[in-house]
Amino acid sequence: MINIKIEPRTDTKRTDKLFQLRIKVGTGSDRKFIALPPIVGDPADWDKTTQTFRITKRASTLNSKERNKHYEKNNIALGEVKKKCNDILIDFARAKQTPTATQFVEQYVENRSNAKVGEYFDNHIKNLRETGHIGTANSYEGAVKMLRLFDPKFNKRYFADINLPFVEAFDRWLQKRDCNGNSRRNYHASLRAIFNKAIKAKAAIEQTYPYGKNGFSVNSLAQKTTKRYLPKDAIKIVRTTEIENYTLEQARRIFIAQYLCFGISFIDAAALKKTDILTLNDGQYIVYKRQKTESAKSATSIKIKITPELQEHLAWFEDNCTLIDDYLFPIVSIAGYEGEQLYNHTKNRLRRINKTLKKLATHFGIENLSLSTYVSRHSFAMTLSKNTSIKFEQIQQAMGHADPATTMIYLEELNAEEMAGVAEALTDF
C-alpha cells in the first residue's frame, strides 16, 4: 500500500510564521508532493498523529476563539482531502492496481486523461501521415515500436507511468541492444515530444515529466558522426567530368545539383518543381521550405540562387530525362503519386540512385568512401568551411551534422544576397 501523509511544508517561509500543508505521497525515491496552499496554521497547533489542527478547549480570549473557528474550517477541508485520497486508493484497488506516487498525484490533481501514452503516439502518427509528414511519422513509429518491445505493458501505460526510472531503464535496454547515442536520442526525443503534447492538452502533468531540468538529458546522447565528404579536388573532378554512360551521368548530375543547391536533402530535391523558381532582384532563385520543418512556426524559405553551373544541370535534366509533373530533378518517375505513396516511391528511388553512386565512385577511383546523396550534403558544408570568405563557425552552425534542424534554421535566416554569395563560393576554385 502506498504511504500518504499530510504534513507541514518546511520549504516555504512566510512572514507571518504560519505554514502551509502538503500531501506527501510515497517514500524513498518514489516520493511526490501535492501542495495545499489554502490551508495554513501555526506549527505549534499541528497534531502529527491525527494530521489535524488542535482545537483549544474552553477558549476564553477573542484570539483563541477566532483561531478555533479557523482551525475548524481547516480540519473540515482536511477531512475532504483525506476522503479524496481514500477514494482514489479505492479506485485503484477496484482496478486491482497498486499506484505509484506519480500515478496517485496525477489522479489527485484531476489531470488524468483516458488516453494512454501508446494511444497518443498512434494518434500523432496518424495525423502526421494525413498531413504528408511521412518521414516524421516513420520516426515516431520506430520509437513507439521500441517502447512496446521494451515494455510489453506499454499500451496500458498512462503518462504518470513514464517517469524518470522508466526512461532510464528504457535507455539501458537500448544500450544493451547496441543502439548508438544518436539512435537512442531519436527515440527519447519522440517520447519527449509526445509527453510535451500531452502536458499542453492537460492529459499529463509537469510533476511526472521525466525530461528537462533534473530529468533525463536527451541532448547528451548526441554523437558526432564520421564526416562523409569529398575533398575539393574530388568534387572538382566529379563536377567537370561528363560520362558517356547515361545512368552514371544522370546520377553524377543529381549529386552535383544537390551540392549546388546547398546540400539539399534528396527528399526535398525530389519535390522541387518549376513553380519553386522565382525571379528576385538579382536573378532567379529556387525558393522552398524543408518538408521536415515546413509546418514549424519558425520555418522560413530557403533561397538558392541559380548559378550558370546549376542552370546547366537543370537544363540537362529537362533535355535528357523524362520529367513529370513539372519536377526539376529526374527523381520521381511515376506521375500522380501523392502522400505516403509518393514518399515511399522517392525512398525507393533514393536506394537505386545510391547504388548507382557507388558505381560512380568506382568510375572516378574514389576510395574509402561510399558515395551517396548524403555525401553531397557533407561536401557542401566542408567546401564552404574552407572558403576564407565564409566563417567556419557559420558553417558549423548552419550545417551542424549532429542536428540538421539547427543547420536549416541558420540557412533560413540568411537573405537572398547572402545566399547568392554562398552559391558562388561553391564553385570558386
Residues 148, 194: Cα–Cα separation, whole Å: 15
Cell numbers standing for residue 34: 501535492
CATH of the domain at 398: 1.10.443.10
C-alpha atoms less than 13 angstroms from C-alpha of 146 in its C-beta half-sphere: 25
pLDDT in tens, 257-297: 999 998 888 999 999 999 999 998 888 999 988 776 655 55
Determine phi and psi for 224, rounding to 5 degrees. -75, 130
If you average pLDDT over each of 27-36, 73-82, 111-120, 411-420, which comes out highest?
73-82
Task: Say what the pLDDT of residue 200 is.
Answer: 83
pLDDT at 215 over 50: yes
Residues 17 and 97 in one domain: yes
CA end-to-end distance (rounded Å), the chain: 74
DSSP bridge pairs for 32: 25
- Which residues 6+ apart lie within 8 Å of 355 measured at CB? none
Residues 217 and 252 in one domain: no
pLDDT at 110 over 80: no
Task: Say what the pLDDT of residue 165 is.
Answer: 87
Residues 246 and 158 in one domain: no
As a whole number, mean pLDDT of residues 166-171 equals 92
Residue range(s) defining the domain that contains residue 27: 4-108
Total count of domains within the chain: 3
Residues 320, 79: Cα–Cα separation, whole Å: 83
Q: Are 306 and 314 in contact (CB under 8 A)?
A: yes
Q: Which residue, of 49, 80, 108, is where some domain finishes?
A: 108
DSSP state of 35: E
Residues 99 and 197 in one domain: no
* 32 falls within a domain: yes
Q: Which residue, of 108, 137, 171, is where some domain finishes?
A: 108
Residues 206 and 301 in one domain: no
Is residue 404 very low, low, confident or very high in pLDDT (cuts 50, 70, 90)?
A: very low
Residues 182 and 308 in one domain: no
Q: Are 19 and 12 in contact (CB under 8 A)?
A: yes
User: What would you report as the CA-atom Rg of the chain, rounded to the nearest whole angstrom?
Assistant: 31
What is the pTM (predicted TM-score) of this model? Answer: 0.60
With H, G, I as helix, E, B as strand and everything else as coil, classify residue 15. coil
Q: Are 55 and 72 in contact (CB under 8 A)?
A: yes
For cell 506521375, what's the residue? 335
- Which residues 6+ apart lie within 8 Å of 396 measured at CB? 385
From residue 405, alpha-carbon distances to 220, 265, 333, 412 in Å are: 17, 12, 28, 11
Identify the CA nearest to 332 among candidates 262, 245, 273. 273
pLDDT at 397 over 50: no
Cell numbers standing for residue 36: 495545499
